[in-house]
């Protein structure tokens, strides 16, 4: 999704108006990696702008989606989650917390699939179900390593240990 500033321009070009509600929602969605629901975003927005309507949140998310600025995701069957990341990417869901993480997959094209005859694939979506390991409670040391570190290549091996379970003890972030 573009920055709030660029979005403002794009909106005006389309004859749409810049309202405080939209500005706020642009800001809340920009670089938001939490994949929020409408309801969740509404709660965030309400903190900064008490009277805002849930209806407006839905409406703004819908138009951002139509403009190709965000993606929507029907994940587990609950509420739709919105994603400002419109690059080709996939997701990992923690069964415990429901958290949703972005996952990049290099070699989707190498999948060997027995597709129905005559089926033309337009795009593939992959969801990794699992859980975030409670990184061994390091006696309250450097509470750095928590959720995700920038891009660690990994070959998928569902229901079987991956390499060694030991944390990569080298390569902390600065």
Partner DNA sequence: ATGCTTATTTGCAAATAATGCGAACTACAT
Partner DNA sequence: ATGTAGTTCGCATTATTTGCAAATAAGCAT
Task: Give residues in contact with its own copies (CB under 8 A).
Answer: 74-77, 80, 90, 92, 94-95, 101, 103-133, 135, 145, 147-149, 151-159, 162, 167
Instruction: Mark 30-69 with x for binding to Zn ion (rule: CB under 5 A) and - for no binding.
Output: ----------------------------------------
Please tell me the distance from the alpha carbon of residue 57 to that of residue 54, in angstroms, as a whole number. Answer: 5
Q: Which residues contact 89 (CB under 8 A, 6 or more apart)?
A: 102, 103, 104, 105
Phi, psi dihedrals of residue 110, rounded to the nearest 5°: -90, 0
| 150 near Mn ion (CB under 5 A) | no
Residue from 77, 116, 137, 165 binding Mn ion (CB under 5 A): 77
| 16 near DNA (CB under 7 A) | yes
Query: Residue 167 binds what, of Zn ion, its own copies, DNA, none (CB under 5 to 8 Å, by partner type)?
Result: its own copies
Q: State in angstroms the smallest separation of the CB of 87 from DNA.
A: 22
Q: Please classify residue 49 by burial: count the beta carbons closer than 10 Å to its beta carbon, then call 0-12 exposed, 13-18 middle and 19+ buried.
A: middle
Tokens for 6, please give them.
């660029």
Q: Which residues contact 88 (CB under 8 A, 6 or more apart)?
A: 123
| 83 near DNA (CB under 7 A) | no
Largest interatomic CA distance in the chain: 57
CB-based contact 29:40 (threshold 8 Å)? no
| 99 near Zn ion (CB under 5 A) | no
Q: State in angstroms the smallest separation of the CB of 73 from Zn ion.
A: 7
Query: Residue 137 binds what, of Zn ion, its own copies, DNA, none (CB under 5 to 8 Å, by partner type)?
Result: none
Where do contacts with Mn ion occur on this chain (CB under 5 A)?
A: 77
């Amino acid at each position: 999704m573009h920055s709030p500033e660029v979005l403002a321009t794009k909106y005006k070009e389309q004859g749409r108006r810049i309202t405080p509600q939209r500005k706020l929602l642009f800001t809340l969605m920009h670089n938001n990696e939490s994949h929020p629901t409408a309801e969740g975003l509404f709660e965030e927005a309400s903190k900064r702008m008490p009277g805002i309507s849930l209806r407006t949140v839905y409406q703004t998310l819908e138009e951002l989606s139509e403009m190709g600025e965000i993606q929507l995701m029907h994940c587990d069957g609950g509420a739709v989650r919105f994603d400002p990341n419109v690059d080709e990417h996939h997701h990992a869901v923690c069964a415990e917390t429901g958290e949703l993480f972005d996952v990049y997959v290099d070699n989707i094209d190498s999948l060997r699939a027995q597709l129905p005859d005559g089926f033309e694939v337009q795009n593939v979506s992959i969801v990794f179900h699992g859980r975030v390991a409670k990184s061994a409670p390091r006696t309250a040391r450097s509470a750095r390593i928590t959720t995700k570190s920038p891009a660690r290549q990994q070959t998928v091996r569902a229901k079987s240990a991956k390499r060694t379970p030991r944390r990569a003890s080298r390569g902390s972030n600065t």
